[in-house]
Structure 1
Amino acid sequence: MSDAATPGATSASERTKPYAWLVLFMLAFIYIFNFLDRQLMSVLIQPIKADLGFTDEQMGYMTGFWFALFYTGFGVIVGFLADRTSRRNILFAGAFLWSIFTALCGFAKDYPTMLVSRIGVGVGEAAGAPPSYSIISDYFPPHRRAQALALFSLGVPFGQAAGVAFGAKIDGIWGWETAFISIGIAGAVAAVLMLLIVREPKRGAMDHSATVTREQAEATAAEKSGFFETFWEFINRPALLWAALGCGFSAFVGYVALTWNAAFMQRTMALSSDDTALWYASMLLVSMGLGTWVSGALTDFLAKRSKVWYALVPGIAMGLSAPFWYFFVMAPNWQTALVILSAPTFLTIMYLAPALALIQNSVKPSQRTMAGAILLMVLNMIGLGGGPTLAGAMSSNITLAGIVERLGISATEAGALAKMTAAQLKEQPAEIAAAVSAASNHGLQTALLWITPFYAVAVFFILLEAFAIHREVKAGGPVRDGGARLGIVLLAMGVAGFTAMYLMKPLGVWFADWMGATQIVLLALATGFGLLLCFKALGRRNAAATA
């Protein structure tokens, strides 16, 4: 990797045709629906809980762990196929699928049906971002990719804001079921429109330079890279590994906010559906939109001086976010909370565009879709799978303890009260309903406060990314470590995960529930893989020392 500007940048710029911008707009339009459908569930948590009696833990698992598990798993499959077949067609199939399953959420009357519908949304959305990243990289030259990817990433704030605005408004008029059905149908129509407008580009068409001809770039792009080859590049190269983990923990706090903020303000600060649709949606649009655009433009500008800014921009932003998050959770009313929340919302989104640009510029053209899928796999398993799930589980446990303490009843009786719908709670004595409401409010607030330290974790990994990029700049090319660092990280995550589960409840209790058993198996696999990487790296080091 070099600090020098990309050769031939002016020539490449002249080849960025108007149609490329039309493609970018259309892909961003589809991306809006990707996040609109995802945010829709988050803004409807309160009315769904009131009607169907789901707990925060159930909502956390559904919007977090299970969604992320299928989203990331199918994302890798999509990346493999998209590096070999039509990326546009795969994007169409995914967009149509997630839209249909979004509509099916509107017909769910119990938890299993809703869970399966959301998993279907996750499977479809897996085909959204990775093919789009690769298509954009073949329409825009390297020195413009951060800006192009940042503009594409505006689909995130526009989608989040649209999900909040339309979801809350439609729910207030016709109910949450109609919100899912109507938005799902609109997404299916948008998918067909994209299929008619976007053409599949030649791979590597924009990667030529003063030293690499267009023919050579396209020939390199035509090479087929396997999944394991691309995955090993992440494992073996600290700059990419730390970028992925930095994104993951940045997304951890980001997805907690996007999943639970609306429910938190509605539950504890009496934020109405109309105010949610107007003020919360407007804040998301402005803050996330500006943060996404500023991060791309600022990184493009600063990275011309040093590639280290691919890490320093999001690192500084995440460090500044933490105190604002704390004061948001402790705010006395929703008006004050929204003003404070605008700052971390603006800052925390800044991790995405620099990471996308770094990854897309650091791998071969034939690996871009798969590299994007792997980045999203790490980002979403840690961020989407961990953040909302942990916050929901903590909220339910603290709520349960609060009901027991306030009413002096058993945990079994408290659990039954916590699962009651709004209509059922109204039939209870006033002191019981008030105790359950107060415990629920305190549970979610406390859970969100415990998210604050994860900002420091995100900054830690982003700083490691900065040091790794600096090493590559000094070395004049990629620096690899044989996977040793990932091994250490997986071991640490395994130990931390098992410790957290044990502190919440005995491990034997987790095995009694299929969701808990799945988490234990995944932690065990991560720990075992970490041990394997550490032993292999140690063996290579010993062999080198005795050679």
Structure 2
Amino acid sequence: MTAQSYPAPRYAWYALGVICFGYVFAFIDRQIVGLLAPDIQQHFSLNDTQMGLLQGIAFAIFYTIFGIPLGWFADRFNRKWLLTGGMTVWSLMTAACGFAPGFMPLFVLRMGVGVGESTLNPCASSLISDYFPPAKRPRAFGFYVMSTAFAGVLSSAIGGTVIAALRGYEYVSIPMLGDFKPWQVTMLVVGLLGLLPAILLAATVKEPARLGLAAKQKGNATWAETRAFLISNRMSLGLFLMAASLVILEIYGGAYWHPSVFIRVYGWSAPDVAFYYLVPSGCIGIFSAYTSGTVTNYFKKRGMGEGVWMTAMFGCVGCTVFGTLGPIMPTSELALTVLLLKSVFINYPSAAAMTAINELTPNEQRGFTTALYVILTGLVAQGLGPLSVGMTTDFAFGDPKMIGISLAAVVSVTGVLAMLCLLWGRKAYREALGRVTWEAAAKPAGAAA
């Protein structure tokens, strides 16, 4: 197979841009709840544990349950239309959150957001692998993960602007719909805007041919082939993805609770958090995502086939060190500085995980393998990240102003566990690269063909 088998580079980057546009709104739908948390808690009289359930478990339950079947579908059916449907569902569910009359309806709607978003990573991972040859994928996946940084900037800008504009209003009247709290208006606006990438994907992007097949019949992999692949890579890919999920747990915990740290501990307002922390953090996150592929290729060009592993370790160390110290700084200025330093590394683990899946997995198993990764990030990271911090605050300290200490405790423990997983699996990862036969560009220098 040659690079000419892939779509023209200009079109490939355009298609990736549309997918990333959708990812931006998917991440906005997740992060906006953290920015609006104080208003939602006040409106429904929720404690931190309940808020952690809304931000984590509610989304993660169906995000993970639907991940496996949708990953299976992504390996067999039209990925473009599957992803278009997912974008439509998660956007409408986010908009509907603005109409929720209480905790349980809001919990159910957050589940619906999870159903829609469970299509994203399996479809995107498989599509990107068919748009870009192996040598270009680290940069492509770095660009894909960059979407989360753009989303951070946009959600902060949109949310902060709406909150600031409506600060003096207890309710906002919308013709034919009624009166809404400012946080409800924000959810409605963000959800409806998310329909734009769904329309663009449906109208302008084509389903690419499937390349890099390894199944005996060069088509759909059998369950026996898939099971054999997963068993043979349980140490290499399994430990790598567990490490990524653990460090992403601390990233999600911070994404949802950092605004509350600045508001409760340092006395900032929600617009202040949006404009002075979240927007700069998102901009630095763009740099993080862009450089993740550069770091991977730097090591690969110097004969280290496991360059993706190195990128993951860099991200793990940076996020853990700065993520632990940031929330416990004595002043808001120091906390801001340290947490912005964390943002330099924040997209390394997720970009490395997506690249690793495509580096070690044949095409016809990428959707299913990515779905397993979605389960890990859903249950471990998305599900437990916000909840573990909220429960630590409520039950270990019993004081809302101890939220910074709670964050530091969760980040330090999960970060160390992630590093141990990476170290344990490094040798196995290097050996797994040597077994890749469907794409020679993924093999380390000196590996047998």
Sort the TM-score into its range (normalised by shorter chain): 0.7 to 0.9
Q: Quick one: which of 304, 308, 311 aligns to 2:306?
A: 308
Inter-partner Cα distance in structure 1 for 2:73 and 2:49:
35
Question: Are 1:326 and 2:333 matched, yes or no?
Answer: no
Deviation at 1:26? 0.6
Q: Contact 1:66/1:119 (CA < 8 Å) preserved in 2?
A: yes
Q: Specify which of 272, 275, 285 is matched with residue 272 of structure 2.
A: 275
Matches within 5 A, 1:254-269: 254-269=251-266
Who is 1:423 aligned against? none
TM-aligned CA distance change 1:228 to 1:103, over 3 Å: farther
Residue equivalent to 2:407? 448
* TM-score, length-scaled by structure 1: 0.73
Q: Is the 8 A contact 2:314 2:348 kept in 1?
A: no
CA distance in 2, matches of 1:198, 1:221: 28
Query: What is the letter of the counterpart of residue 251 of structure 2?
Result: G
The one of 426, 429, 435 aligned to 1:477: 435
Residue 160 of structure 1 deviates from its aligned partner by: 2.2
Deviation at 1:96, TM superposition (A): 0.4
Match of 2:131 among 139, 146, 155: 139
**What SS does the corresponding residue of 1:225 show, helix, strand or coil?**
coil
Q: Is the 8 A contact 1:312 1:463 kept in 2?
A: no
Partner of 1:233: 229
Q: Decide whether aligned partners of structure 1 residues 234 and 392 sit closer, same or farther in structure 2, where only a CA change above 3 A counts.
A: farther
Q: Give the match for residue 129 of structure 1.
A: 121
Equivalent in the alignment of 2:177: none
Contact 1:221/1:364 (8 A) holds in 2 = no
Code of the residue aligned with 1:162 in structure 2: it is L
Alpha-carbon offset, residue 226 of structure 1: 4.8
1:334, CA displacement in angstroms? Answer: 2.8
The aligned amino acid for 1:285 is: G
Q: Which amino acid is the alignment partner of residue 263 of structure 2?
A: Q
Partner Cα distance (2:430, 2:196) in 1: 46
Q: Secondary structure of 1:286's partner? A: helix
Contact 1:42 1:262 in 2 (8 A): yes
Identity %: 26
C-alpha separation between the residues in 1 aligned to 2:397 and 2:94? 30
1:22 alignment counterpart: 14
Contact 1:149 1:357 in 2 (8 A): yes
Q: Which residue of structure 2 aligns with residue 111 of structure 1?
A: 103
1:195 matches 2:174: no
Change (3 A) 1:308 1:360: same
Structure 1: which 5+ runs fail to align?
1-6, 208-216, 401-438, 479-547
1:170 counterpart residue number: 162
Q: How far apart are the structure 2 equivalents of 1:222 and 1:63? A: 41
Which residue of structure 2 lines up, in the alignment, with residue 461 of structure 1?
Answer: 421
Mapping for residues 472-511 of structure 1, pairs under 5 Å: 472=432, 476-477=434-435
For residue 346 of structure 2, give the secondary structure of its aligned residue in structure 1: helix
Spell out the pairing of 1:369-388 with structure 2 (5 A cutoff).
369-388=367-386
- 1:446 is aligned with what amino acid? I
Tell me the distance in 1 between the aligned counterparts of 2:43 and 2:110.
18
Q: Structure 1 pair 320/186, CA: closer, same or farther in 2 (3 Å)?
A: closer
* CA distance in 2 between partners of 1:235 and 1:254 (Å): 29
Alignment partners' CA distance in 1, 2:345 and 2:294: 14
Partner of 2:285: 288
Pairwise CA distance, 1:232: 5.4
Q: Which residue of 2 aligns with 1:420?
A: none
Looking at structure 2, the residues matched to 104 and 233 of structure 1 have their Cα atoms a distance apart, in angstroms, of 41
Contact 2:58–2:108 under 8 Å retained in 1: no
Q: Verify: 1:77 aligned to 2:69, yes or no.
A: yes
Q: Deviations over 1:249-295 (max 9, x none)?
A: 11111111111111221121122222222122222222211111111
Provide the residue aligned with 1:86 in structure 2.
78
Give the aligned partner of residue 30 of structure 2: 38
Structure 2: how far apart are the matches of 1:160 and 1:148? 19
Letter in 2 for 1:185: L
| Offset, 1:381 | 1.5
C-alpha distance in 1 between matches for 2:229 and 2:384: 24
How far did residue 399 of structure 1 move?
A: 5.1
How far apart in 1 are the matches of 2:326 and 2:395?
22
Q: 1:116 to 1:74 in 2, by over 3 A?
A: same
1:251 pairs, out of 248, 252, 266, with 248
Q: CA RMSD in A?
A: 2.2
AA at the equivalent of 2:103: Y
Shift of 1:27: 0.7
CA contact (8 A) 1:311 1:465 kept: no
**In 2, distance between residues paired with 1:470 and 1:85?**
32
Distance in 2, matches of 1:139 and 1:166, equals 32
Structure 1 residue aligned with 2:339: 341
Give the SS at the match of 2:345: helix
Q: Deviations over 1:400-453 (max 9, x none)?
A: 4xxxxxxxxxxxxxxxxxxxxxxxxxxxxxxxxxxxxxx3112x1231121122
1:230-260 CA-to-partner distances (Å, cap 9, x unmatched) read: 3553344111111111111111111111111
Amino acid at match of 2:420: F
Task: Give me the whole-angstrom Cα distance separating, in 1, the residues matched to 2:230 and 2:160.
Answer: 40
Name which of 173, 188, 192 aligns with 1:181.
188
Matched residue count: 419
Larger Rg: 1
Q: 1:396: which partner in 2?
A: 394
Q: Displacement of 1:106 after TM fit?
A: 0.7
Q: Aligned to 1:98, what secondary structure does the other structure show?
A: helix
Instruction: Give, in whole Å, the separation in 1 of the partners of 2:427 and 2:207.
Output: 37
Give the letter aligned to residue 278 of structure 1: F
How big is each residue's C-alpha offset from its partner over 1:110-130, in whole Å with a ceiling of 9 and x where there is no partner? 110110010110111111121
Does structure 2 retain, via aligned residues, the 8 Å contact 1:250–1:455? yes
Q: Which residue of 2 aligns with 1:418?
A: none
Moved more, 343-352 or 87-96: 343-352
TM-score normalised by structure 2 residue count: 0.88
Amino acid at match of 2:203: L
Equivalent-residue separation in structure 1 for 2:247 and 2:320 (angstroms): 11
Q: 1:53 to 1:235 in 2, by over 3 A?
A: farther
Shift in Å at residue 321 of structure 1?
Answer: 3.4
Q: CA deviation at 1:464?
A: 2.0
> Which deviations, in whole Å up to 9, do the C-alpha atoms of 1:73-116 show, x marking residues without a partner?
11111111111111010101100000001011111121101100
1:137-184 deviation digits (Å, cap 9, x = unpaired): 111101111111111111111112222221232133331000000111
CA distance in 2, matches of 1:225, 1:170: 49
2:368 is paired with a residue of what secondary structure? helix
Which one has more relative contact order, counting CA pairs under 8 Å at least 6 apart? 2
What CA distance in whole angstroms lies between the structure 2 residues aligned with 1:312 and 1:335?
A: 31
Question: What amino acid does structure 1 have at the position aligned with 2:431?
Answer: R
C-alpha distance in 1 between matches for 2:116 and 2:341: 32
How far residue 219 of structure 1 moved from its aligned partner, in angstroms, is 8.7
